[in-house]
Protein backbone atom coordinates (compact mmCIF):
# COMPACT_ATOMS: atom_id res chain seq x y z
CA UNK A 1 0.00 0.00 0.00
CA UNK A 2 1.41 3.38 -0.97
CA UNK A 3 2.38 5.70 1.83
CA UNK A 4 -0.05 8.39 0.64
CA UNK A 5 -2.94 5.95 0.51
CA UNK A 6 -2.01 4.56 3.93
CA UNK A 7 -1.94 8.08 5.38
CA UNK A 8 -5.36 8.86 3.94
CA UNK A 9 -6.60 5.65 5.55
CA UNK A 10 -5.19 6.78 8.89
CA UNK A 11 -7.03 10.10 8.64
CA UNK A 12 -10.29 8.39 7.72
CA UNK A 13 -9.76 6.02 10.63
CA UNK A 14 -9.23 8.87 13.11
CA UNK A 15 -12.32 10.65 11.83
CA UNK A 16 -14.46 7.53 12.19
CA UNK A 17 -13.07 6.73 15.63
CA UNK A 18 -14.03 10.12 17.04
CA UNK A 19 -17.38 10.01 15.25
CA UNK A 20 -18.20 6.72 16.98
CA UNK A 21 -17.23 8.12 20.37
CA UNK A 22 -19.29 11.28 19.92
CA UNK A 23 -22.40 9.58 18.53
CA UNK A 24 -22.58 7.10 21.40
CA UNK A 25 -21.31 9.38 24.16
CA UNK A 26 -23.42 12.39 23.30
CA UNK A 27 -26.47 10.19 22.85
CA UNK A 28 -25.93 9.14 26.46
CA UNK A 29 -25.62 12.81 27.40
CA UNK A 30 -28.94 13.47 25.67
CA UNK A 31 -30.55 10.62 27.58
CA UNK A 32 -29.21 12.06 30.84
CA UNK A 33 -30.17 15.68 30.21
CA UNK A 34 -33.31 15.70 28.07
CA UNK A 35 -35.56 13.01 29.50
CA UNK A 36 -37.67 13.34 32.63
CA UNK A 37 -37.26 11.16 34.50
CA UNK A 38 -33.74 10.60 33.24
CA UNK A 39 -32.89 6.91 32.70
CA UNK A 40 -29.60 7.76 34.43
CA UNK A 41 -31.18 9.63 37.34
CA UNK A 42 -29.79 7.21 39.90
CA UNK A 43 -27.22 5.55 37.69
CA UNK A 44 -24.72 8.17 36.54
CA UNK A 45 -22.13 5.42 36.15
CA UNK A 46 -24.14 4.29 33.14
CA UNK A 47 -23.22 7.50 31.32
CA UNK A 48 -19.56 7.03 32.22
CA UNK A 49 -19.39 3.42 31.08
CA UNK A 50 -21.21 4.27 27.84
CA UNK A 51 -18.57 6.88 26.98
CA UNK A 52 -15.85 4.42 27.97
CA UNK A 53 -17.23 1.56 25.88
CA UNK A 54 -17.60 3.94 22.94
CA UNK A 55 -13.85 4.51 23.18
CA UNK A 56 -13.27 0.75 23.39
CA UNK A 57 -15.33 0.03 20.28
CA UNK A 58 -13.65 2.88 18.40
CA UNK A 59 -10.26 1.33 19.17
CA UNK A 60 -11.38 -2.12 18.04
CA UNK A 61 -12.78 -0.66 14.79
CA UNK A 62 -9.88 1.60 13.83
CA UNK A 63 -6.84 0.69 15.92
CA UNK A 64 -5.20 -1.51 13.29
CA UNK A 65 -5.24 1.38 10.81
CA UNK A 66 -4.29 4.50 12.76
CA UNK A 67 -3.64 3.35 16.30
CA UNK A 68 -6.81 5.21 17.35
CA UNK A 69 -5.45 8.34 18.96
CA UNK A 70 -8.99 9.79 18.75
CA UNK A 71 -7.77 12.72 20.84
CA UNK A 72 -5.53 15.62 19.78
CA UNK A 73 -3.91 15.66 23.22
CA UNK A 74 -2.89 12.02 22.76
CA UNK A 75 -1.54 12.76 19.27
CA UNK A 76 0.58 15.62 20.65
CA UNK A 77 1.93 13.47 23.47
CA UNK A 78 2.80 10.67 21.05
CA UNK A 79 4.63 13.13 18.80
CA UNK A 80 6.66 14.44 21.72
CA UNK A 81 7.51 11.11 23.37
CA UNK A 82 6.64 8.16 21.13
CA UNK A 83 8.14 9.21 17.79
CA UNK A 84 4.83 9.87 16.07
CA UNK A 85 5.73 11.83 12.90
CA UNK A 86 5.35 15.56 13.45
CA UNK A 87 4.13 16.06 9.87
CA UNK A 88 1.06 13.97 10.71
CA UNK A 89 0.04 15.87 13.84
CA UNK A 90 -2.04 18.69 12.33
CA UNK A 91 -3.79 16.43 9.77
CA UNK A 92 -4.66 14.03 12.60
CA UNK A 93 -6.07 16.92 14.63
CA UNK A 94 -8.17 18.04 11.66
CA UNK A 95 -9.51 14.52 11.11
CA UNK A 96 -10.37 14.18 14.79
CA UNK A 97 -12.21 17.50 14.92
CA UNK A 98 -14.06 16.64 11.71
CA UNK A 99 -15.15 13.33 13.22
CA UNK A 100 -16.41 15.14 16.31
CA UNK A 101 -18.24 17.72 14.19
CA UNK A 102 -19.94 15.00 12.14
CA UNK A 103 -20.72 13.03 15.28
CA UNK A 104 -22.43 16.08 16.75
CA UNK A 105 -24.43 16.50 13.54
CA UNK A 106 -25.62 12.88 13.69
CA UNK A 107 -26.67 13.24 17.35
CA UNK A 108 -28.51 16.42 16.40
CA UNK A 109 -30.42 14.62 13.65
CA UNK A 110 -31.31 11.81 16.04
CA UNK A 111 -32.46 13.99 18.94
CA UNK A 112 -33.80 17.20 17.34
CA UNK A 113 -37.45 16.60 18.38
CA UNK A 114 -36.35 15.81 21.94
CA UNK A 115 -34.12 18.89 22.06
CA UNK A 116 -36.92 21.16 20.82
CA UNK A 117 -39.44 19.64 23.21
CA UNK A 118 -37.04 20.04 26.14
CA UNK A 119 -36.44 23.70 25.35
CA UNK A 120 -40.16 24.38 24.90
CA UNK A 121 -41.03 22.74 28.22
CA UNK A 122 -38.36 24.72 30.05
CA UNK A 123 -38.89 28.03 28.28
CA UNK A 124 -35.38 27.99 26.82
CA UNK A 125 -33.89 28.86 23.46
CA UNK A 126 -30.79 27.49 21.84
CA UNK A 127 -29.07 30.87 22.05
CA UNK A 128 -29.68 30.76 25.80
CA UNK A 129 -27.89 27.42 25.86
CA UNK A 130 -30.98 25.22 26.09
CA UNK A 131 -29.93 21.55 25.65
CA UNK A 132 -26.46 22.69 24.66
CA UNK A 133 -25.00 20.31 27.21
CA UNK A 134 -25.74 17.48 24.80
CA UNK A 135 -23.02 18.83 22.50
CA UNK A 136 -20.48 20.80 24.52
CA UNK A 137 -19.24 20.91 28.06
CA UNK A 138 -19.53 23.67 30.63
CA UNK A 139 -18.37 24.24 34.20
CA UNK A 140 -20.48 22.89 37.04
CA UNK A 141 -21.78 24.95 39.94
CA UNK A 142 -19.02 26.95 41.61
CA UNK A 143 -16.39 26.08 38.99
CA UNK A 144 -14.64 29.07 37.39
CA UNK A 145 -12.98 28.79 33.97
CA UNK A 146 -9.53 28.93 35.56
CA UNK A 147 -10.38 26.16 38.01
CA UNK A 148 -11.87 24.12 35.15
CA UNK A 149 -8.63 24.64 33.21
CA UNK A 150 -6.66 23.24 36.15
CA UNK A 151 -9.10 20.35 36.54
CA UNK A 152 -8.76 19.40 32.89
CA UNK A 153 -4.99 19.43 33.16
CA UNK A 154 -5.22 16.99 36.06
CA UNK A 155 -7.81 14.69 34.49
CA UNK A 156 -6.19 14.58 31.05
CA UNK A 157 -2.82 13.96 32.68
CA UNK A 158 -4.32 10.89 34.35
CA UNK A 159 -5.79 9.79 31.01
CA UNK A 160 -2.53 10.05 29.07
CA UNK A 161 -0.46 8.68 31.93
CA UNK A 162 -2.73 5.65 31.88
CA UNK A 163 -2.61 5.31 28.09
CA UNK A 164 1.18 5.47 28.08
CA UNK A 165 1.36 2.80 30.77
CA UNK A 166 -1.20 0.54 29.08
CA UNK A 167 0.58 0.72 25.71
CA UNK A 168 4.16 0.50 27.04
CA UNK A 169 5.87 -2.59 25.63
CA UNK A 170 8.23 -2.88 28.59
CA UNK A 171 5.46 -2.62 31.19
CA UNK A 172 4.94 -6.20 32.35
CA UNK A 173 1.81 -5.15 34.24
CA UNK A 174 0.11 -3.75 31.12
CA UNK A 175 -2.79 -5.70 29.60
CA UNK A 176 -2.20 -7.77 26.51
CA UNK A 177 -2.79 -6.07 23.16
CA UNK A 178 -6.29 -7.45 22.59
CA UNK A 179 -7.55 -6.27 25.98
CA UNK A 180 -5.89 -2.85 26.12
CA UNK A 181 -8.86 -1.24 24.33
CA UNK A 182 -11.19 -2.32 27.11
CA UNK A 183 -8.88 -1.00 29.81
CA UNK A 184 -8.52 2.36 28.05
CA UNK A 185 -12.30 2.54 27.84
CA UNK A 186 -12.56 1.81 31.55
CA UNK A 187 -9.95 4.50 32.19
CA UNK A 188 -12.17 7.05 30.43
CA UNK A 189 -15.19 5.84 32.40
CA UNK A 190 -13.24 5.99 35.66
CA UNK A 191 -12.31 9.63 35.09
CA UNK A 192 -15.95 10.47 34.37
CA UNK A 193 -17.13 8.56 37.41
CA UNK A 194 -14.62 10.31 39.62
CA UNK A 195 -14.85 13.90 38.41
CA UNK A 196 -17.32 14.19 35.55
CA UNK A 197 -19.61 16.66 37.26
CA UNK A 198 -16.87 19.29 37.55
CA UNK A 199 -17.06 20.29 33.88
CA UNK A 200 -18.26 17.26 31.96
CA UNK A 201 -14.76 15.68 31.69
CA UNK A 202 -13.99 16.55 28.06
CA UNK A 203 -10.32 15.40 28.43
CA UNK A 204 -10.14 15.69 24.65
CA UNK A 205 -9.98 18.94 22.65
CA UNK A 206 -11.81 17.42 19.65
CA UNK A 207 -14.58 15.94 21.79
CA UNK A 208 -15.64 19.43 22.87
CA UNK A 209 -14.52 21.66 20.00
CA UNK A 210 -16.04 19.69 17.10
CA UNK A 211 -19.61 19.40 18.48
CA UNK A 212 -19.37 22.93 19.89
CA UNK A 213 -18.56 24.19 16.40
CA UNK A 214 -21.51 22.27 14.99
CA UNK A 215 -23.81 23.62 17.71
CA UNK A 216 -22.68 27.18 16.95
CA UNK A 217 -23.97 26.81 13.38
CA UNK A 218 -27.07 24.86 14.46
CA UNK A 219 -28.54 27.74 16.44
CA UNK A 220 -26.69 27.80 19.76
CA UNK A 221 -24.57 30.72 18.58
CA UNK A 222 -22.95 32.66 21.44
CA UNK A 223 -23.85 30.02 24.02
CA UNK A 224 -21.43 27.74 22.16
CA UNK A 225 -18.85 30.37 21.07
CA UNK A 226 -17.49 32.06 23.05
CA UNK A 227 -19.85 30.58 25.69
CA UNK A 228 -20.55 32.08 29.10
CA UNK A 229 -17.41 33.48 30.66
CA UNK A 230 -15.55 32.98 27.36
CA UNK A 231 -15.28 29.34 28.38
CA UNK A 232 -14.73 27.71 24.97
CA UNK A 233 -10.92 27.65 25.23
CA UNK A 234 -10.80 25.70 28.51
CA UNK A 235 -11.72 22.21 27.18
CA UNK A 236 -9.23 22.73 24.35
CA UNK A 237 -6.18 24.13 26.15
CA UNK A 238 -6.62 22.19 29.39
CA UNK A 239 -6.44 18.73 27.77
CA UNK A 240 -3.49 19.72 25.57
CA UNK A 241 -1.53 20.83 28.64
CA UNK A 242 -2.67 17.87 30.70
CA UNK A 243 -1.73 15.36 28.02
CA UNK A 244 1.84 16.63 28.01
CA UNK A 245 1.95 16.59 31.81
CA UNK A 246 0.76 12.97 31.99
CA UNK A 247 3.08 11.82 29.23
CA UNK A 248 6.02 13.58 30.88
CA UNK A 249 5.29 11.97 34.23
CA UNK A 250 5.30 8.54 32.66
CA UNK A 251 8.30 9.14 30.43
CA UNK A 252 10.54 10.68 33.09
CA UNK A 253 9.34 9.25 36.40
CA UNK A 254 8.09 5.74 35.55
CA UNK A 255 9.53 4.45 32.29
CA UNK A 256 13.24 4.82 33.13
CA UNK A 257 12.79 2.45 36.07
CA UNK A 258 10.97 -0.40 34.30
CA UNK A 259 13.05 -3.54 35.00
CA UNK A 260 12.21 -5.22 31.69
CA UNK A 261 13.43 -2.17 29.78
CA UNK A 262 16.90 -2.61 31.25
CA UNK A 263 16.82 -6.30 30.36
CA UNK A 264 16.32 -5.53 26.65
CA UNK A 265 19.25 -5.95 24.22
CA UNK A 266 21.76 -3.11 24.40
CA UNK A 267 20.90 -0.25 22.09
CA UNK A 268 17.35 -1.47 21.46
CA UNK A 269 14.70 0.98 22.56
CA UNK A 270 12.22 1.77 19.80
CA UNK A 271 10.32 4.28 21.94
CA UNK A 272 13.45 6.29 22.63
pLDDT of the chain, 272 residues: tens digit per residue: 579 999 999 999 999 999 999 999 999 999 999 999 999 988 999 999 999 999 999 999 999 999 999 999 999 999 999 999 999 999 999 999 999 999 999 999 999 999 999 999 999 999 999 999 999 999 999 999 999 999 999 999 999 999 999 999 999 999 977 899 999 999 999 999 999 999 999 999 999 999 999 999 999 999 999 999 999 999 999 999 999 999 999 999 999 999 987 775 655 555 55
- 61 neighbors 17 (Cβ within 8 angstroms): yes
> CA-CA distances (angstroms) from residue 263 to 215, 247, 258, 266?
52, 23, 9, 8
As to burial, measured by CB atoms within 10 angstroms (0-12 exposed, 13-18 middle, 19+ buried), residue 225 is: middle
Looking at residue 138, its pLDDT comes to 97
In order of their start, the domains of the chain are 3-108+128-262 (1.20.1080.10)
Amino acid sequence: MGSKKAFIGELISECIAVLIIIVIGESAAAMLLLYDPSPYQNAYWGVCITWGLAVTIAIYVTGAVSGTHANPAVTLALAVYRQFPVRKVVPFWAAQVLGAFLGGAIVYMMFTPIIDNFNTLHGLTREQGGAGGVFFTSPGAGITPIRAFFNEIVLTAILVLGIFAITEEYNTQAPQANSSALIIGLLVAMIGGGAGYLEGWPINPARDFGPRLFAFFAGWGPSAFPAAGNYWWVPVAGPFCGGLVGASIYQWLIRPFLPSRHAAPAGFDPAG
